[in-house]
Chains A and B, each alone.
Chain A
Amino acid sequence: MGIDRRAFIGLVAGGVAGTLFTPIPWKMADDLSIWSQNWSWIPRVPKGPVAYAYTSSKLCPSGTGLKVMTVGGAPVTAAGNPDHPLSQGGVSSIGRSETYMLYSPARVKSPLKKVNGKFEPVTWEEALTALAEKCKAAGAKIACVSGDQTGTANEVLSAFIAKQGSSAYYMVPSEKQSAAKAWSLMGGAGQPGFDVDNADCVFILGADMFETWGSSIRNRKAFGASRDASGDAKAAFIYAGPERDGTGSVCDAWIPVKPGDLAMVALGVAWILMEAGAMPSGPGAAEFVSYVKSNCSPDKVEAACGLKPAVLVGVAKMLAGAKAPLVVPGSPCGQGGSAAAFMAGMALNMLLGRINKPGGVVALPALPKAVDGAMDQADILKNDLLAFLKDAGAGKAPEAVLFYEANPAYGLPEADAMAEAIAKIPFKVSFASFMDETAALCDLVLPNSLTLERFDDVASPYGVAFNVYSLVKPLTKPIYDTRTTADFILALAEKMGASLGFASMEEVLKAKVEALALAGGFIAKDVQPWQALAGSSAPEPSADLWADLEGGYAWVLAAGAEQTGLGYAGGVLAKAVKPIEGKVVLAPYARQTSGTPVMGIPAQNLTIVPDNELINTATFVKMNAETASWFGVSEGSSITIEGAGQKLPVKVHLSENVMTGVIAAPLGFGHSAFDQYSKGKGVNILRVLAARVEEGAGVAVWDGAAVNIA
């Protein structure tokens, strides 16, 4: 028996009516709405006990202490450790990304070996055997390039190549190295530090100290502490630099100065102080006085820099009238700073009598080493990576080079030439955690475990006025097949019959901490190091230093190195002070939101990169309306910057926060490696920045460079 049309309609109608009295439509509508919110790529909240653990950031150059929240043992978020003197509860966007970067798509997930131009996974044992053979063959013709500015891993690596007979250990250039070279030229001892906390008038000479200079989070805290909302500011801050950037915009005054003119401005202030009676003494003082008096009078500074004499007089009066004035010289972009500007700034500090004084310059004595045979940090900082790579490019490369936490193929000036030079090195190994530009050029990539997965340490980041030591300890097992590089190097040395005396980085650190305990110092808990510098009694040394460090506290030593040979280096200054010649100066700047050369742009930071720096793949450079009128460009115009033999297409953003004659350009973009969050985002400004060598000082400088605009 069949059914006709009417009966069929009855069946359907009955079915529909009945369905309406079942859960199907209502449950389906509800469930589908829930289903539509549960896509596979949406992160899930992990379940488990919530706990907090303490460590310090290695990705962030400021070395802040971290308070990491874990859920079920897995690190979830990183915040500032309120009990750490370099953090005081604050955290940079880089430090905060320590947890997110664990899961970055750019991570190297296992050891890789390049075969016919492509990477293939190998085991750690295979990698160990292969590298041991290469290192044995290379002998003393081995070098190491390190980007770790604060770690004892440098002792392990430098001791390893020293056993091979090599002293070719290079640090990636930083504020620390620029300062070390200039300070050494002045006859200074120790690592220069600046007691911002106890100063009452801070003249910032170029240093972007709330963003990329020194321990920036601690600098921000010191600035904040001086701005108690209940009363007047306890300290005045004056910023001299090419752009009213994150530092300049919060200071009490911004003095527009091009990067190449920072030394001249400081010496102009020195001229006024000397006219008022300040008299330099010590090595190089006579040449200094002669040079400053002849070349740095306010009218001559105005002729050279366009700065009105009244501005210099104002700065000089503020410094001379303060109880604890401090001059902080540095680079506006956190690297490639001028030795002349540093020496001129430090000469001001000396003229003001601010060496080894509370609120002044406190140079830090070297910390004891843990690894026998490791190179002294001071000796390492004398080695010039740029010169080394230029030699490599000219065919004078050693047989093998180890790159540790370093990405010179991207992060150095004239980046194209640097990458070409690295490519010419016969055998190269990267210990990068992420597939960066340098790792992509290497023959072996042996991924270092990340901060939260390894034992490591942070010793006295540049700029702090007290020695400070923090422990980095693993809070989770490695997410991927990675190893702590120092552990691997110790195993490599053992395999090659050149044991360094330690089985693991943990052992090295325990030896380091034992040595620190003998050096004195205390745990920054009830008394902070800047209070000790100001005269507070230091507490008793820790009874169990390792346990305190594991608990997230920092060991500190508030004592300055004795200065027996410090002078004005007038002869060097006389040769080194030179402006950047050119109609327009390219002044790079860096932001923590854009990451660092070794980590790329953290994925979660892309949303906070402003539209006046990057839109899709276009990088924006800033210039003021007057500079723009020189080239007939306006907001959004496309221009080409030419420098160092390269051309870069960028777009224009008009900003009156940039001084006339300067183009401010953001660093951190234009990666050709990493992941979709970094690769192809804008251009790498370092490609058009040519380093200039300051005469007399012999220091390569690239905080600004003359460029052509088309």
Chain B
Amino acid sequence: MEKKSGKAGGVGGFILLFLVGLVGSLIVGWVVFPSLLFSQKTQPIRFSHTVHAEQGMECEQCHYLTEDGQFMGLPSTESCADCHPDETGEDTPNGKEIDKFVNEYGKTGAQVPWLVYQYQPDNVFFSHSAHQGFQCTDSGCHPPVETMDAPPVYEENRITGYSKQTMKMWQCERCHAQMGTSNACYVCHK
């Protein structure tokens, strides 16, 4: 008479462990893997878009197109310093951030190394000028930062080095197709 081994086995054991493997891999794939793939970074300055919006500032005061079509996506240290030339000395969270900017960048002249959520790879030519007819956030391209008191966490892909929000090519192509715009290679890859 065969002695019972005490191990999970047979068809029941196969199905049981198949399910364990299936569920486990789904958890790893959907929960663990994303958290491992992306590192989280914070902006060098906790810039509050809402505070600036409440002051009556328009987006275009800092993010604007020049006459030749260049998009000035990030304000320079000099332009920030126009409004924040000196330390505030305030003990509030916002005051401390302003003082941090003044001391580390305004006084040294260094540019703030902002983390840009949507930078495209070098081989992609994206023109904001050609996309002026679209809303920045409603179109799904940018997060609605104007409603945020603190910038969203920047998630960087550990393998590619790109931001998690970097738009993929299929997204560009889909929108182009929907808008009836050419999807020829040279449209984006010069």
Residues of A within 8 A of B (CB): 1-4, 6-19, 21-24, 27-28, 31-32, 34-35, 38, 44-45, 47, 49-50, 72
What are 20 A-B interface contacts by the 8 Å CB criterion? A1-B8, A2-B6, A2-B8, A3-B8, A10-B15, A11-B18, A14-B20, A15-B21, A18-B21, A19-B25, A21-B26, A22-B26, A23-B34, A24-B28, A24-B29, A27-B33, A27-B37, A35-B159, A38-B161, A49-B70
Task: Identify which of A16, A21, A22, A50 gathers the most chain B CB atoms within 10 Å of its CB.
Answer: A22
Q: Is the CB of B7 within 8 A of A14?
A: no
B121, A3: Cβ atoms under 8 Å?
no
Is B134 positioned at the interface, with any CB of A under 8 Å from its CB?
no
Which A residues lie within 8 Å of B26 (CB)? 18, 21-22
Interface residues of B in 1-59 (CB under 8 A from A): 5-10, 13-26, 28-30, 33-34, 37
B105 in contact (CB, < 8 A) = no
Complex CA–CA separation, A386 to B157 (angstroms): 62
List A contacts of B25 (CB < 8 A).
14-19, 22
Given A7-B8, A14-B22, 5 further pairs, Cβ under 8 A: A10-B21, A18-B26, A19-B28, A22-B30, A22-B33
Q: How far is the CA of A4 from the CA of B11 in the complex (A)?
A: 11
Q: Are A22 and B29 in contact (CB under 8 A)?
A: yes
Interface of A is mostly: helix
A7 touches B21 (CB 8 A): no
Contact between chains at B8 and A4 (CB < 8 Å): yes
Q: Give the most central of A7, A34, A72: most B CB within 10 Å.
A: A7
Chain B residues within 8 Å of A38, by CB = 160-161
Contacts A4-B8, A35-B160 known; A10 to B33 CB distance under 8 Å?
Answer: no
B67 at the interface (CB under 8 A from A): no
The smallest beta-carbon distance between B168 and chain A, in angstroms, is 8
A9: B residues at CB distance < 8 A: 14
By the criterion CB–CB under 8 Å, are B72 and A49 in contact?
A: yes
Specify which chain A residues have a CB less than 8 angstroms from the CB of B33 in the assembled complex. Answer: 22-24, 27
Give complex CA distance A676, B18 in Å. Answer: 58
B13 and A15: CB pair below 8 A? no
Whether B122 pairs with A13 at a CB distance below 8 angstroms is no
Q: How far is the CA of A2 from the CA of B119 in the complex (A)?
A: 51
Q: Is B21's CB under 8 angstroms from A13's CB?
A: yes
Closest to A35 in B: B159
Q: Considering the chains assembled together, what is the distance between the CA atoms of A548 and B14 in angstroms? A: 85
B162 within 8 A of A: yes
Interface string of B132-162 (1 = CB under 8 A from A): 0000000000000000000000000101111
Docked-complex contact A10 and B29, CB < 8 angstroms = no
Q: Which of B9, B29, B121, B157 contacts A18 (CB 8 A)?
A: B29
Closest 7 CB pairs of A and B: A22-B29, A14-B21, A18-B25, A15-B21, A10-B14, A14-B18, A7-B13
- Which one of A6, A28, A45 contacts B9 once the chains associate, using CB atoms below 8 Å? A6
Q: Of A11, A16, A22, A47, which contacts B17 at CB under 8 A? A: A11
Given contacts A12-B21, A22-B30, A49-B72, contact A7 B7 (CB under 8 A): yes
Known contacts: A2-B8, A17-B22, A18-B23. The answer to whether A7 contacts B159 by CB under 8 A is no
Q: A16 to B22, alpha carbons, bound, how many Å?
A: 7
Residue from A8, A18, A44 within 8 A of B24 (CB atoms):
A18
Q: In the complex, what distance in Å separates the CA atom of A178 from the CA atom of B9?
A: 97
B70 partner residues in chain A, CB cutoff 8 A: 49-50
CA distance A31 to B157 in the complex (A): 8
Determine if B10 and A6 form an interchain contact, defined as CB atoms under 8 angstroms apart.
Answer: yes
Q: For B116, give the chain A residue with the smallest CB separation.
A: A47
User: For residue A21, which residues in chain B have a CB less than 8 angstroms away from its CB?
Assistant: 26, 29
| Alpha-carbon separation in the docked complex, A38 to B160 (Å) | 8
A232 to chain B, nearest CB (A): 39
In the complex, are the beta carbons of B6 and A32 less than 8 A apart? Answer: no
Question: Known contacts A15-B21, A22-B29, A50-B70; is A31 also within 8 Å of B14 by CB?
Answer: no
Closest to A43 in B: B122
A11 touches B21 (CB 8 A): yes
